[in-house]
Each structure stands twice: as structure tokens, then as C-alpha cells.
Structure 1
Amino acid sequence: MTIDQILDDIYPIPDSSKSLVKKDISLIKYPKGQIIINADKIESNVYFIKQGIARAFSNDSQNEITFWFGKEGSTVLSMMSYISNGKGYEDIELLEDSELYQIKSSDLQDLFIKDIHLANWGRKFAEKELAKTEQLFISRQTKTATERYIELLEKTPHLIQRVQLRYIASYLGITQVSLSRIRAEIK
């Protein structure tokens, strides 16, 4: 995906505003397995996935818990660092060789002050992220594991081909054995 497509998918902005933000963006490549955001650190960059897939996870005392997947067009950031310049709670790992657009959070924040269209873009981004988080929370509270898996298949079928099942099981809040059972029942 181009950066123009990614920006417009979040919230359409004029070409003049896109030009401002593109001046501060660089394209970087990382290999599969690269951790691009580390827990307990302040992250100074925001990324947009041009090509590839990523997962966000945190560690409890015994397990890694995957709670987010991003694909082409997704924004990758530590929300705590982005909002309050605080240390993040998540690690973000690339699950494929990836190309990312990168911008410094401070540059993006400066652009929000300088350009009303970019400020509105930033607001719409935050609103969409909040809505996604709310939907995930409600799904976790009200749906069975089978219903959550079916929803995942319907909304993001590409994940099943591109992401290891152990990460999908973790994302659904179940064991790999339970995921295998659910998959067998659905077939």
C-alpha cells in the first residue's frame, strides 16, 4: 500500500497536508521476527505497514498474550508513548519480512499543531483505534471462543494463512488444542 492510501483509509486529507507529512516519513525494511516496539520503553516512532504483518503481545508471569494483529495499511505504535510519552506495555513483532513507513511521533505531533487537516486526521485515527479496542473488549466478554474464531475468519481471513496458529489461539484467549478442536468442528 502507498502512504497516500494508508492516510486516506484513516481519514481523507488534502494533498497539501499529505505532502507535509510525507516530508517526515521514511521507508524502512525489517526481517521477519524483528521486534520494532519494546515493552517498558518510550517509543519515539509511529509506523504504517506498507507490506507485511505484525502482532502486539505482552507477557504475564507465564505466557505471551497476543492481543493485536496488523497488516498492510495498519498503524503500528505504542499507544502509551503516542498519547502520553509514557513507557509502553507491549512488544510488537513482525511476522513476515516487512516494509514500513516510519515517522517520529514528535514530528507527527508538530504537524497536528501546524495543519488542521492533519489534526483532524489524528483525531479520527484515535477514534477508530478506540472503537476497535471497544469491539475487541465486548467480543471477549460476550462471545464464545468459537464465535470469536468465526468472527476472525469473516473479518480477516488472511490471518489464518499468514499467522501461526499459536498466535491466533493466544489472540482468541484459548489454547492451541482448543483452537484445533474448534477448527475441526467448523470443517
Structure 2
Amino acid sequence: MTALSSTAVPPIPISAPVLVLETLALETAVTALIDRVFGPGRFAKVSERLREGNRLLADCSFVALREGQPVGCVRLWPVSVGGQAVAFLGPLAVDPGERSVGLGQVLVEQACEAARIAGWKAVLLVGDAPYFTRAGFSAARTAGIALPGPVDQRRVLLKALVEGGDEGLSGMVTLT
């Protein structure tokens, strides 16, 4: 019996997804991704109240494409906290087959940088603190922020995009 060759076959590199701004042409495919990731329960969440009837910040919302198909997305929306404008992040959706490689973090960081460039002072979200603190979000200055429905206040997170951008935000979150 002969031994198999010990020559290793080099791995075939798998390219990273390409990040693009979300467009109307991608909306149906992105919505299908969000539905797959979150299911119908997402419509019951308070965050959905801030997206209904709102307008997407197209210059700050990104889609990760692999072979032309969305495998991740992050959306930002304009809202007001007690009369002060902030961007509201959500949903962040990553296809289950693409998780654990940092794609969600890349999407969040790209959206926050685009929001900073667009002149937003802060980004607000409702989400998992251990996950989002890695991208600079914190609950330290959110005690006075109220959402239009029940929410676990520990999940209300904020990120300043400019010095002091997260200071003095208090009141109800509403559509702008």
C-alpha cells in the first residue's frame, strides 16, 4: 500500500462580500434577507415603530453582497430625541452562513462613519449591549431617552459621532 502524498492542497480563497449603499433596486432582496433573519416577530418590536412611515438614510445604509445577493445589511433612519436629530440604526441583519466572521461589525462601522460624514452627531439603537459596545455604543447616556413602546432600557444604546454628540439627549424618540 502506498502512502498518500503529503502535499497540501492550497485552500481556495473565498472573497469577502462587497459593501454597497442600499438602493431601491436592492430593496426587495434586502427585505427578504431581513425577513429570513428576524421572521415576522420583528414587526412587534418598538424599533419597527420608528421605521414605519420613515425614510431610509440612503447615504448611510449598506448592503453586503456575495455573488450579487445580499448576505448582510444595515439601515439608518432619521429620528429625533427630544427635538434633537440623531440617526437610528436598525435592522442589522447578517445571513446565518455569514456570521462569526465580523461582517456585522463592518456593516455597523461603515454605517456610523457614513453618518458622521453626512453630519449626524450620534447614532441610537436598541440592541445587544455586549455586541454593540465593540463598535463604540453605550447605555451610559440613554437614561433619559424614551421610545414609543415598551423596551428594555439596558438595550437602548448610543454612539457619539462627534465630540459631545451623545450629550444632553433626553425625551421621546419620534420621527423627524
Question: What TM-score results when the alignment is normalised by the length of structure 1?
Answer: 0.22
More helix as a share of residues: 1
Larger % of strand: which? 2
- The structure whose RCO (Cα within 8 Å, separation 6+) is larger is 1
